[in-house]
Amino acid sequence: MTQDVQEQPQNPEDKVGRMFEYGYRKSNYGPDELVTDAHGNPISVVDAMLSAVEAAKAETSTPHLCYYSPRIPGNTGSAIRLCAVTGTILHLVEPLGFNLRDTKLRRAGLDYHDMAHVVLHPDFDDLVASMPDSRIIAFTAHATKLYTEVEYKPTDILLFGPEPGDIPDPMDIMAGPHVAEQVRLPMRPSLRSLNLTNCASIAIYEAWRQLNFAGGK
């Protein structure tokens, strides 16, 4: 006689793990399953994020990071992970070149823990109004001062503009009256630019180093 074997309930963590392959979300899972809670249940991306008020009140060990109108979802996905591991708050200023709820934001690490370091602003004025006492430091190739010549504070906002493309760089944002400093990363003159989140990583870790890697280990 053959004894029926009862199927064991699926482990929620295993279920979430099978959603991804080689760091990317599999195509047979819907967009609403991109972000899940600890039990593997889909949750709203916006529900997992900080509000502007919460972000302004949060005590951090690194400056805040701001992407103005980012266009490439992979860069933002990498920035979210960067901010999660360094304790940095990431401000995303609309318009974005992608939908945060879209499958194009394909990072295996985008669970609700990582998204808790992200705040979305409808425009740049909203960011400035939410953190009126913060110093905004714009990273731009037009600057003459090097990023290492600044003494960073946890209340600073490190501002990065859109990735290069058909849309002109918003110099009213990157060089406006709200900007306290303009700085650049040194590069060989024969090359155009670094990847956006590579630049942000260099900046965040320099600032964190100056602050003695507070909160890290």
Which residues belong to the annotated binding site? 161, 185, 193
Which is nearest to 211 in space by CA: 84, 62, 91, 94? 62
Residues contributing to the annotated binding site for S-adenosyl-L-methionine: 161, 185, 193
Question: Which H, E and C letters describe the chain, residue by residue?
Answer: CCCCCCCCCCCHHHHHHCCEECCEECCCCCHHHCCECCCCCECCCHHHCECHHHHHHCCCCCCEEEEECCCCHHHHHHHHHHHHHHCCCEEEECCCCCCCCCCCCCCCCCCHHHHCCEEEECCHHHHHHHCCCCCEEEECCCCCEEHHHCCCCCCCEEEECCCCCCCCCCHHHHCCCCEEEEEECCCCCCCCCCCHHHHHHHHHHHHHHHCCCCCCC
Residue 175 phi, psi dihedral angles, 5° rounding: -135, 20
**Sign, Cα dihedral of 69, 161, 77, 28:** positive
